[in-house]
Structure 1
Amino acid sequence: MGVTAINVRNQFRGHIKEIIRGSVLSEVDVQTPNGIVTSVITTRSIDELDLKVGTEVVALVKSTEVSIARL
């Protein structure tokens, strides 16, 4: 079964650049045409999705809050 529709508007297609595995949580860097998107997900999810460096993925970003800091 594939995804036919989704309500998440911020979608970034890319390839996994790096995975830093932890015992429970892991960090996944996704290289997109506009830069790197980093996600922290469970290590179990990495294994269940069979994620590896080079895997093509879509990073879906949904947030109820976006903070802005003045530089």
Structure 2
Amino acid sequence: MGAKTGRDEIVAEIVANKGWRTEIQQRCGITRQAIDNWRQVPPERARIVSDVTGYPLHILRPDVFPDPT
């Protein structure tokens, strides 16, 4: 997690990447502010975030999705 924000690095990347944030926001039907408030990717949003960013589920939320290897 980022030391200053308490936000994990992937969420920080999503917030910094306006294209990703906009697509996630539209596909999830949530506001930009909702994403800005994430500390981690919510498990119920992980599949959409994975589709948009290319990050595998087990990287986005290793506590929820086990590494398939």
Range class of TM-score, shorter chain:
under 0.3
Flag the structure with higher strand content: 1
Which structure is richer in relative contact order (CA contacts within 8 A, separation 6 or more)?
Answer: 1
TM-score with structure 1 length normalisation? 0.27
TM-score with structure 2 length normalisation? 0.27
**Over alpha carbons, which structure has the higher Rg?**
1
